[in-house]
Amino acid sequence: MAEHTDAVIEIRDVSKLFGPVAAVDGVSFGIIRGEFFSLLGPSGCGKTTLLRMLAGFEQPSRGEILIDSQPMAGVPANKRPTNMVFQSYAIFPHLNVEENVGYGLRNRKLGKDETRSRVVAALDLVKLSGYGKRGAHQLSGGQRQRVALARALVCRPKVLLLDEPLGALDKKLREEMQLELRQLQRNVGITFVFVTHDQEEALTLSDRIAVMSSGKVLQIARSDDLYENPNCREVAEFIGNMNLFEGKVAAVAQGNVTIATAAGTFTVPHVAPIGAGNAVHLAIRPEKLALSADKPAPGLNAVKGRVIAQTYLGDRRQFLTQIDGMAKPLAISRQISGAESPISTDSDVWVTWPPQLGRLLTS
């Protein structure tokens, strides 16, 4: 939980009930001024509902939301210092680009020239100069997205809310827009709250990510931290690929824990106090595992298995290795450099990893 002094948004124990169902369930955290913050989770996890509560389209059933230290209870969407980029972009079909971008400026008592120059500047910012007179239906998907961004940014919100804005674009355009979005956010310095179900997108764009599931926040962390140090099984499995060994704590010593699993006994670093006999998981990423035909050196965690499938992925090769005593095969990812010795399917192999690369998950 980030009890940061410069939190632009504070979410305090917020829940949202739809009938008996809690779409958002007792969530508390803060969002720091100027950061690119993502809400990541599968569809139905409550991330969009949380975003809509920030925007003012839904009211929390419990708890409170503060923006710039102001409580937002009872403040309608049109009075909040937030603006939103909608999933469908919601470009007004009866207005042209300029009128769309200038929509929010009309009741701000700005002079005509001021309004004009702000619209022009906003269009410039999203690289749409000269498109002002285009009709809404003459725009491509990427252009619509830029108009939606310009329309929100022109109001100079304290927080920009983005509801899966890249979901409707094809893969290549999406990657381009990710880069642009990140640069744009650095340039304008506005806090972005970005909702997505795409973990890669979240990892690429964000300063910090909140992973949500079933209405709860599982973990909030920087991208690299989230990948390297997931705090529970759900996060570990949602972000990238992860191999899991189920087992019990056998011994605790000097910041290391030895756990006994059906596939053998392994060592994993762990500093927090934990008692022997606790049910835990050992998590290890596929790219941290090594394969060899020879018996490994001592000091490494090692387990014997049989390669049952391998997939060529261009820059790397993925092996599936069946281990005695384990239901799921281990996934091992190996960079292709050209120097490694080939491993054939159905051969017996050793899977090894240095103990410090594994992670112990207690929940």
Partner 1 sequence: MIQRRPDWLAGYGLLSPAIIIMAVMMVTPLLAMVALSFWTQQGFELDRSFTLANYFALVEPSSEPTYWMGIPFPLTYPVPAILLIKSLAMSLAITLAVIALAYPMAYFLAFHVRGQKALWLVLLTIPFWTSYLLRVFAWKIMLGFNGAINSGLKSLGILTEPLSFLLYNPLAVMITLIHAWVAFAVLPIFVSLDKIDRSYLEAATDLGDSRLRRFLQVTLPLSAPGTIGAALLVFIPTVGDYVTPTLVGGPSGTMIGNLIQELFLKQNNAPLGAAVSITMMVTIAAIVTLFLWLIGFRRLRSRAR
Partner 2 sequence: MRSSSRPFYIYAVLFMLFLYGPILLAPLFSVNDSIFATFPLKGFTLRHYAEMANNTGLLKALRNSLIVASASSIIATAVSVPAAIALTRYKLRGSGLIMTAMSAPLVVPSIIFGVALLIIILRFLDLELTLWTIGASHVFISIPFAMTVLMSRLEGFDKSLEEASRDLGEGAWMTFLRVTLPLAMSGIVSSLLLCFVTSFDEFVLAFFLSGTETTLPVYLFGQLRFPNKLPGMLALGTTILMFSTLIVILAEILRRRGVQSNSPGEV
Q: Is 77 in the site for partner 1 (CB under 8 A)?
A: yes
Q: Is 59 in the site for partner 1 (CB under 8 A)?
A: yes
Q: Is 141 in the site for partner 2 (CB under 8 A)?
A: yes
Binding mask 292-321 for partner 1 (x = CB under 8 A): ------------------------------
Q: Which two tokens stand for residue 141?
A: 């998907």
72/203 with CB nearer partner 1: 72
| Residue 59 site contact among partner 2, partner 1, none (CB < 5 to 8 Å, cut-off depends on kind) | partner 1
Among positions 24-43, residues that touch partner 2 (CB under 8 A) are none
User: Which span sits near partner 2 by CB under 8 A: 21-29, 53-61, 282-290, 308-316?
Assistant: 53-61
Binding mask 65-84 for partner 2 (x = CB under 8 A): -----------xxxx--xxx
**Pairs from 322-328 (Cβ < 8 Å, separation ≥ 24):** 323/263, 323/351, 324/263, 325/261, 325/262, 325/263, 326/245, 326/261, 326/262, 326/263, 328/244
| Residue 74 site contact among partner 1, partner 2, none (CB < 5 to 8 Å, cut-off depends on kind) | partner 1
| DSSP H helices in the chain | 47-55, 97-102, 112-125, 141-153, 171-188, 199-205, 223-228, 233-238
Burial tier of 325 (Cβ tally within 10 Å: 0-12, 13-18, 19+): exposed
Q: In whole angstroms, how far apart are CA 194 and each of 38, 138, 162, 208?
A: 5, 27, 5, 10
140/311 with CB nearer partner 2: 140
What residues does 252 pair with on adjacent strands? 257
Q: Which of 34, 44, 104, 269 binds partner 2 (CB under 8 A)?
A: 104
Q: Under DSSP, is residue 165 helix (H, G, I), strand (E, B) or coil?
A: coil
Q: Which of 19, 74, 93, 111 binds partner 1 (CB under 8 A)?
A: 74
Q: What are phi and psi of 174, to 5 degrees?
A: -65, -45
Q: Is 230 in the site for partner 1 (CB under 8 A)?
A: no
Q: Which two tokens stand for residue 214?
A: 């079933």
Across 45-100, the runs of DSSP E, i.e. the strands, are 62-67, 70-71, 82-85
Among positions 158-177, residues that touch partner 2 (CB under 8 A) are 168-169
Question: Binding-site residue total for partner 1 (CB under 8 A)?
Answer: 6
Minimum CB–partner distance for residue 70 and partner 1 (Å) = 17
Q: Is 144 in the site for partner 2 (CB under 8 A)?
A: yes
Dist CA 320 CA 329 (whole Å):
6
Amino acid identity at 216: K
Q: Is 274 in the site for partner 1 (CB under 8 A)?
A: no
125/302 with CB nearer partner 2: 125
Q: Is 108 in the site for partner 2 (CB under 8 A)?
A: yes
Distance of CA 348 to the CA centre of its chain: 37
Q: Which residues bind partner 2 (CB under 8 A)?
A: 55-57, 76-79, 82-84, 86-94, 103-104, 106-108, 136-137, 140-141, 144, 151-152, 155, 168-169
Where along the sequence are the contacts to partner 1 (CB under 8 A)? 56-57, 59, 74, 76-77
